[in-house]
Amino acid sequence: MRRVVVTGVGALTPLGGDAASLINGLNLGVSGVRPLETPWIQSLASPLAAPVTVPIESHFPKLRRLTLDRVAQLSLLATREAIAQAGLDFSSDSGLDCGIFWGTGMGGATTLEQAYTESLLQHAIRPRPSTIVMFMANSSTGQIGIEYKIRGPSLTYSSACSSSAVAIGEAFTAIRSGRIRYAVAGGGEALLTQGVMKAWESLQTLARPDPEHPETSCRPFDKKRSGFILGEGAAALVLEEESSARARGAAILAELIGYGNSTDAGHITQPDAAGQARAMRQALAQAALQPDQVHYINAHGTGTVVGDVIETQAIKDVFGAAARQVPVSATKALHGHLMGATGAVEMVVALGALQNQVIPPTAHLLHPDPECDLDYVTEGARHLATLDTVMSNSFGFGGNNAVLIARRYPS
């Protein structure tokens, strides 16, 4: 089996327009949660979301924008950063040996909602001709191939909150087996629309706004937690066969060494500790690691009443005596829950911790829940003398669990 390394990362999130802004913002405790500035927000119980605020449309010519939903624009820009950092140009024959593995929960939600509004409420004669190609789930995947001349296999994964983690894991598997040499892997999501937000609100999973400090409304593992804040964004990783990266003198950011994926097979929305534990154990086994060799876990940690307890139980089940020794943090408190993009975003965060030897905090955890009793890094960013291996958990509706493990690559 071939070794797989990371040579580029990119991110566009509520904390800024690149991966460094995301990592630095989390370490400083910066929140991307804010009231949405749109008239329809008054129809919701909470005006809060975690939007991307940097301008993105100016990066694309007007005619190109006519075929790009917001999710595709976010995805293209995150991919641009990752490919630039990797120093690759796929317009040559190397594009034939590169795959695209992309995750999204809902694809072009903005375009789909606009089409329904125009057709059913405004009685337009017909939707815009580009509607289908903008809202289809694989639109971002196709646009990435077009933009960067990537001509190998392309696959789109949709497994709710684990979508982009699955995409990274499957890209890792494809390179490891020798099917391809390079991969662009990650995911994007842009679903801050009235219909989508009202649907999430009806499920009673969105956090109740804190009247005094609304930016602190998402509180993973806190006794007073009430849910998550919906966000948007995209993140991309360039994965590469180790021998290829070394031959061209690329700067190697980390090595991917483990991937686990399991299905709860229990309930469409309620998580299962046993299912999550199976995915963690699979990733550890593939990485040939014992639990006490993991130095940081980026938790799924959504801030829901049930979900945080279940994940805590799963970690304790897998890590045993080491569970209370490994630092765990949930960064959704600050960047929001980016749904299909969240696994890739949090893998970028985990890799940033690996490179900088700094673990981002779990923000707003002020009232410890007795059932959530691990080391959640509540004091702020934590510097570690030894931080060589990281795990990132992503668990989605439908019962899909995806776990990724990376380690420091020796200089």
- Residue 52 phi/psi, 5° resolution? -80, 120
pLDDT tens-digit series, residues 185-227:
999 999 999 999 999 999 999 999 999 999 999 999 999 999 9
pTM of the model: 0.98
Alpha-helical runs (H) found in 189-324 = 194-202, 242-247, 273-287, 305-319
> Three-state SS across 391-403?
EEEEEECCCEEEE
Nearest to 82 by CA among 165, 146, 127, 20: 20
Residue with tokens 């060799």: 293
Alpha-helical runs (H) found in 87-237 = 109-116, 131-135, 139-148, 163-176, 194-202
Token digits of residue 335: 């960047």
pLDDT tens-digit series, residues 312-343:
999 999 999 999 999 999 999 999 999 999 99
Q: How far is CA 353 from CA 116, 237, 311, in A?
A: 42, 15, 21
- Residue 268 DSSP one-character state: S
CA distance 411 to 408: 9
Domain CATH code at residue 14: 3.40.47.10
Q: What is the mean pLDDT of the chain?
A: 96
CA distance 271 to 306: 8
| Per-residue exposure over 5-14, b if at least 16 CB sit within 10 Å of its own CB, e if not | bbbbbbbbbb
CA distance 316 to 320: 5
Nearest to 130 by CA among 108, 148, 151, 146: 108
Residue type, 388: D
Residue with tokens 């030897």: 357
Token digits of residue 160: 């709710």
Give the pLDDT confidence score for residue 105 in this predicted structure: 97
Residue with tokens 């999204």: 104
Q: How far is CA 41 from CA 20, 37, 108, 198, 311, in A?
A: 30, 7, 20, 10, 32
Reported as type and span, the H/E element at residue 345 is helix 342-356
The alpha carbon of 221 is separated from its chain's Cα centroid by a whole number of angstroms, namely: 19
Tally of CB atoms within 10 A around 136? 17
* Confidence check: pLDDT of 136 > 80: yes
Question: Which positions are annotated as active-site residues?
Answer: 161, 300, 337
pLDDT tens-digit series, residues 233-250:
999 999 999 999 999 999
The boundaries of the domain holding residue 346 are 1-411
pLDDT tens-digit series, residues 367-407:
999 999 999 999 999 999 999 999 999 999 999 999 999 99
* Confidence check: pLDDT of 128 > 90: no
pLDDT tens-digit series, residues 238-283:
999 999 999 999 999 999 999 999 999 999 999 999 999 999 999 9
Nearest to 277 by CA among 290, 292, 293, 264: 264
Q: Which residues touch 282 (CB under 8 Å, ≥6 apart)?
A: 258, 259, 260, 261, 262, 403
Token digits of residue 234: 């995209």
Higher pLDDT, 100 or 124: 100
Residue positions counted in the chain: 411
Q: What is the domain count for the chain?
A: 1
Give the pLDDT confidence score for residue 94 in this predicted structure: 82
